[in-house]
Structures are given as C-alpha cells and as structure tokens.
Structure 1
Amino acid sequence: MPQVTTSTRSVRVQDATIELSWAGVTDTGRRREVNQDAVLTSFPLFVVADGMGGHIGGEIASASTVERLRAMVDDGTVTPKAIEKALVRAVKDILSHPEATDEGTGTTLTGLFLDTSQNPPHWVTLNIGDSRVYLLRDGDLVQITTDHSVVQELVAAGRLSPEEAESHPYGNVITRAVGPTESVKPDYVRLDVVSGDRFVICSDGLTKELTDYGIRHFLDENPDPAHAVEAMLDAALENGGRDNVTIVVLDVRRVAD
C-alpha cells in the first residue's frame, strides 16, 4: 500500500475562508503489470487520468496529460481555455511516441478545480471518458460527471437499465478520450462551494469493484481523506483489483467571517 497523507490549504475569499483537505493514491491493482493511471493534486486542480493502449501507450498518454496540466497550474492560470490548450499539447506529446502509440491509445481525464476569479468562488468539474467525480452533500452521494461510454449511451437511450449496465460486455468501451484522434474539449459542470462537501475523483478501477453505496460507506466511516482513500483502495483490491485504481478524496469547509 502506498503511503497516503492528507494535505491542507486555506483560501481567503471576500467574506470567508475556504479550508480544503485532500488525499490521493494510485495503485497498479492485482491483475495488471503496469499502472497506466496518473493523478494530480496541485491546488487548485485535482484530476485523475486513466490511460489505455497497447505496450506503454496508455501510460504515456495519462502521464503526458497530467504533466501538461501540472505545467499549466505552475503557470498560475487554471481556466477551461487553459486546460484545453494544455490538452492540445498533451496530444502532441502522445503523437511524438509513434513506437508506443496505436489506434487505441489515449486517456480519460476527470476532476475539478476551484475558480476564485469570480465572487462567489465556485467549483468547475471537467470530464472526458469514464473516470468519475462524485459529490457527497447532505448525506447524498451523486455522480456529477456523465460517462462517455457505449453503455452510458445505451442507458440514456432507454435500451439498458443501470443494473444491466454494471455487467454489460461493452462496459470498458469509451466514446471519448484524450488521444491522437479525439476531441480534447471536456464537459464542464459548475458547482457552488458548500461547507461539508466531500468529492471523490476516481478511475473506473474503483467503480468496477465498489458500488456507489460502498463509496459512501467508506466516506461515512472515515472523516480523514487519507483514511477514506486507504479504506476504498483496500476494498477495491480485496474485491479483485482487476484494474489500476486511482482515488482522490477532497473535503471542503467554508468558515464565514
């Protein structure tokens, strides 16, 4: 088990202080030889990328995407426009490795960032693929992002129930990714900053092994983000660990003046 610690950050806004605490982990799992997931927890951006492709193509795709986003954060500007420019650069990085890039190479990307450029500040989630952002608010766990997958399209069309989707043979087939032949514009969702919110950002290596009920259980049982991340990873591995597993838990507390 990788060493997991909780990081904290206080952000001063006009009439309050936003206190954030978070932890993240990525693990190869029990069936794969290589970890093609990548994670970035660098305030104000928190993202997970799940690479795919033969040889080391998926590893290159996810790592290139995260490194381009890390450079964007270091430059001090995190906006949808800056994210999309970073993803264009990531695609060029992926294409610069033709020996490891085939038709199926690419990566999912999901996460969120805190936008303090407006008053009041707000969260912006971003998503390409089938990694997910969940929000636990007032006791309810909700999936904020919408999967870009064949199965989700069948569910949306009423041709498949959510229960049938869980075991569908096309469950791993996604319809959008950051890759050589794909659009690099994510879907965005804007959310208010609410004290007590808990976010989970994860690759499908977690959701293959844990139901939404299971995710909520481990959040309820573990107030500290590092402990919650460790508990979910342990459960995912115990349930089979069929894929790489990456998890970020981010807690929000707003303190008014």
Structure 2
Amino acid sequence: MPDVSTHTRSVATAAGTWSLAWAATTDTGRRREINQDAVLASYPLFVVADGMGGHIGGEIASSSAVDRLSATVDGGEITPRSIEKALAKAVRDIASHPKATDEGTGTTVTGVYLDATGDEPHWVTLNIGDSRVYLLREGNLAQITTDHSVVQELISSGRLSPEEAENHPYGNVITRAVGPSDGVTPDYVRLDLVDGDRFVVCSDGLTKELTDYGIQHFLDANPDPAAAVEAMMDAALENGGRDNITIIVLNVARDGSSPDAD
C-alpha cells in the first residue's frame, strides 16, 4: 500500500471558519489483477468510483468519472447540475472506447461535497451504485447513502434480512451505475455542518471485509485520517481483500479545535 498522508484545509463560511482534514487510498486487493476503483479527494469534493465491465472496461469507466468530476472541482462551484454534467461527459467518454466497453460497463459514483456558498453551509452526499458514505457523529456511525442493489431492494421490501444479505448470491449486482445503459442523476442527501463529524467514503471492497462496527472501531482508535485509512485497509486485506478497496476518511472541526491532523 502506498504511503497515505493527511491533508488539511481551512474553510471560511458564513457560519465561521472550519478546519477539514482528510486522507484517501486505494488498493487492488488480494484476488483481483487490476484496480478498477478510482478516487477523488480534492476540496470540496470527495468521491469513490468502483468500475465494472470487462477486463479494462471498469477501469475506463471509473477513471472517466473521476477525471470529469476533477475538472469540475478545478472549474469552481460544485452543484448537482455541475456533477450531472460531468457524469454525462463521462458516459460519452466510456462509449468512446467501443473495443473495451459495452452496455455492461459502468461505475459507481459516491461521495460528499461541501457547499459553503450560502448563509447556511452544508454537506451534500451523492450516490449512484453501492459504494457508501458513512457519518460518525456524536459516537454513532450511520450509513447515509442507500445502496442501488438487488440485495438492498430485497431488504427494503422485507424479503431479506441484513444478516441474510451478507452471503446472498446477488450481492454484487447493482441496479444503477454511470454507464452507457444508465442515467447520471445521483441520489442526494443534505447534511448539517457539525463540529466533530467524521465521514468515510468507500467502495464495497471495504464493506465486504469490515462490518459497520469494524469501521467505527478503527475510526475511534485512529483520530488522524491517514492512520484510520491505513488501519481499515490493513484489516480489509487481512480479512481476505476479495475486491478492490478504496477508502476516504474526512474529519470536520470548527476553527479553534483540532481537525486531528499531524
């Protein structure tokens, strides 16, 4: 695993100044030949993309999504409109590789961004697919995004318990993705900006190997984002590393309190 470092940024908003600290990493895992995950951790947008389709098709899909979203970060304000325009361009990028991609090629796109433009700055999560955003607030870890997957639909309809879902044969089948055969409108959730919050954005390579309890354990044991990312990655690999694994940890602190960075 490459060295992981914690990055920091001070952000002035109408509600005062805030300190952010984050770290990100991605790993091929122990059973895959190539890494079809991609990651973007660049203020104000923090995104994980988990590609699928063909030997290199998934890699093309996830990298296209991250590249287009990265250009949006460089271009200024992040909004649902700018995100969806970037993802529409990514779909065209994917389709421009007909020898390597097909209708089954696509990528998840999941993450969080800070909207600091108005009088009430807030976070917005975005999600297409089954990568996840978790929020640790006041000692409680909650999954903020809802998976777009066959298993999640069965759970929501009451036909499957969360325990049964862990080993379901359709566990890898998602119902929405960014690709030639799908749309590019994520689900969005607005969240207040709260001192002490910690976000985890991850591909399902992490959640296949760590329970929610395990994720919270490593957050609690590692206040620094880089240390938390490394600890979760090490544990996921030790537990089998069956898929590509990508993790972002993001700490939020009101100015004057520590963002838990070195």
Q: Which residue of 1 aligns with 2:219?
A: 219
Q: Which residue of 2 aligns with 1:31?
A: 31
**By how many angstroms is 1:225 displaced?**
0.1
**By how many angstroms is 1:55 displaced?**
1.9
Which structure 1 residue ranges, 4+ long, deviate > 6 Å from structure 2?
none
**By how many angstroms is 1:100 displaced?**
0.5
1:127-152 C-alpha deviation (Å, 9 max, x unpaired):
00000000000110000000000000
Aligned length: 257
1:142-189 C-alpha deviation (Å, 9 max, x unpaired):
000000000000000000001101111100000000000101000000
Asked if 1:92 is matched to 2:92, the reply is: yes
Q: Which residue of 2 aligns with 1:50?
A: 50
Unaligned ranges ≥5, structure 1: none
Query: In structure 2, what is the Cα distance between the partners aligned to 1:119 and 1:185?
Result: 26
Q: Which residue of 1 aligns with 2:253?
A: 253
Query: In structure 2, what is the Cα distance between the partners aligned to 1:55 and 1:252?
Result: 38
| Partner AA of 1:138 in structure 2 | E
Q: Which residue of 1 aligns with 2:128?
A: 128
Query: In structure 1, what is the Cα distance between the partners aligned to 2:139 and 2:75?
Result: 37
Please give the root-mean-square deviation of Cα atoms over the aligned residues, in Å: 1.0
Q: Does the 8 A contact of 2:95 with 2:102 survive in 1?
A: no
Query: In structure 2, what is the Cα distance between the partners aligned to 1:3 and 1:254?
Result: 28
Query: In structure 1, what is the Cα distance between the partners aligned to 2:15 and 2:125?
Result: 24
1:97-125 C-alpha deviation (Å, 9 max, x unpaired):
00010221100010010001111100000
Asked if 1:109 is matched to 2:88, the reply is: no
Query: In structure 2, what is the Cα distance between the partners aligned to 1:84 and 1:13?
Result: 25
Q: Which residue of 2 aligns with 1:2?
A: 2
Unaligned ranges ≥5, structure 2: 257-262
Q: Which residue of 2 aligns with 1:180?
A: 180
Moved more, 243-252 or 72-81: 72-81
> TM-score of the superposition, structure 2-length normalised?
0.97
**By how many angstroms is 1:255 displaced?**
2.8
> TM-score of the superposition, structure 1-length normalised?
0.99
Q: Which residue of 2 aligns with 1:189?
A: 189
| Partner AA of 1:195 in structure 2 | D
